[in-house]
Amino acid sequence: MKAIVCKSYGPTSQLQLKEVEKPTPKSKEVLIKVHFSAVNDYDWSMVRGEPKLYRLLFGLFKPKHPIPGMELSGVVESCGEDVTKFNVGDAVYGDISAHGFGSFAEYIAIHENAIVRKPEYLPFEEAAALSHAANLAWQGLVDFGKIKNEMNVLINGAGGGVGSIGLQIAKAHNCQVTGVDTGDKLEAMKEAGFDHVIDYKKEDFTRSNDKYDLILDAKTTRAPKAYQKVLKPNGRYVTVGGKIGRLLQIAFTQNVMKKPVYVVPLDANKDLEQIHDLYQSGKIKSFIDGPYPLEKTGEAIQHFGEGQHHGKVIVSCSPR
């Protein structure tokens, strides 16, 4: 089978499309023919080995998992002898990061608990774009943010996958939503339905006189006190990603802040039933950048890392 291989840390241009051995599923694993995968922060950091602190997870000197990718949609081709949740031919998708990596490939063998069934009404492309971003947005806004109707919500890093889904979840609660990003994304964000957009290169929202009931941050770059200033008295700040130093700072100080601040510890695939309901009712959809062909995965990851994407960057992994 063909797969994207990362043998050492370095620029995305060093990624290679290679012929590798097709995996055989273990007793509790399913073999999936991957239709689409999606680019995430994990891939951008793992390929480059940056920030270096992450090498404690990825491998000190080279990647432990030479095939990147942590999100997929596809079809079950075979099952291990102890698999009970799926059958050959089932359409599936999910964020597989709790059980392994390697979705930038034509096939992957992964534990059956890493995936869920894909509803018929959800296209494969959109499914690959939903599992990680939608769970982060849902858990950030609903589980930790306690979103309520008609709140004033701000989403930082709003032009990516989490931001586009977060907008739609907030709009399902009749909220006013401000999005922070820059460049060509701003017009796309207006078209997507943001009530207000802020170009972070021109304006620092943490120095604004505007106040918010809830902030969802996908690109945390400030100290916790900066966000406190723009929260309403009962406001909440929730981060789902950003600079590792700032995330650690928020995690260690969240119990002493006057207004609640949280770092979301993602529970992969937990809330997909709620996402299915919203999708089927027409309240959310995926915003897709791509799909890129498998051989251009390095370009897709670079595009993501440079912050040029709107929505979720998708890679087509095998012809159907």
The structure's pTM equals 0.93
Confidence of residue 203 (pLDDT cuts 50, 70, 90): very high
DSSP H stretches of helix in the chain: 41-48, 55-58, 124-138, 161-172, 185-192, 224-228, 244-253, 272-280, 297-305
Radius of gyration (C-alpha) of the chain in whole angstroms: 19
Q: Is residue 268 part of a domain?
A: no
Whether residues 6 and 113 share a domain: the answer is yes
Q: Please give the pLDDT value at position 320.
A: 58
Question: In the chain, pLDDT over 70 holds for what percent of residues?
Answer: 99
Contact (CB, 8 A) for 264 and 239: yes
Q: Is residue 159 domain-shared with residue 86, that is, in the same domain?
A: no
> What's the rounded Cα separation, in Å, for the pair 320 and 74?
10
In tens, the pLDDT along 233-280 reads 999 999 999 888 898 899 888 888 889 999 999 999 999 999 999 999
Q: What is the pLDDT of residue 135?
A: 95
Distance of CA 173 to the CA centre of its chain: 22
- 61 and 113 in a single domain? The answer is yes
For residue 233, give its domain range.
Answer: 133-263
Q: Are residues 97 and 51 in the same domain?
A: yes
Provide the pLDDT confidence category of residue 317 given band limits of 50, 70 and 90.
Answer: very high
Report, as an integer, the average pLDDT of 90-97.
98
Q: Give the Cα separation of 97 and 118 in Å (integer).
A: 18
Q: Are residues 18 and 110 in the same domain?
A: yes
- Together in a domain, 95 and 26: yes
Give the neighbor-by-neighbor strand order of the sheet with 196-199. 196-199, 176-181, 152-156, 212-217, 231-239, 261-263
Cα-based distances in Å from 229 to 155, 208, 213, 284, 307: 16, 9, 12, 31, 27
The C-alpha atoms of residue 180 and residue 160 are separated, in whole angstroms, by 11
Distance from the first to the final alpha carbon of the chain: 14
Residue 270 belongs to some domain of the structure: no
Task: Provide the domain count of the chain.
Answer: 2
- Reported as a pLDDT band with limits 50, 70 and 90, residue 281 is very high
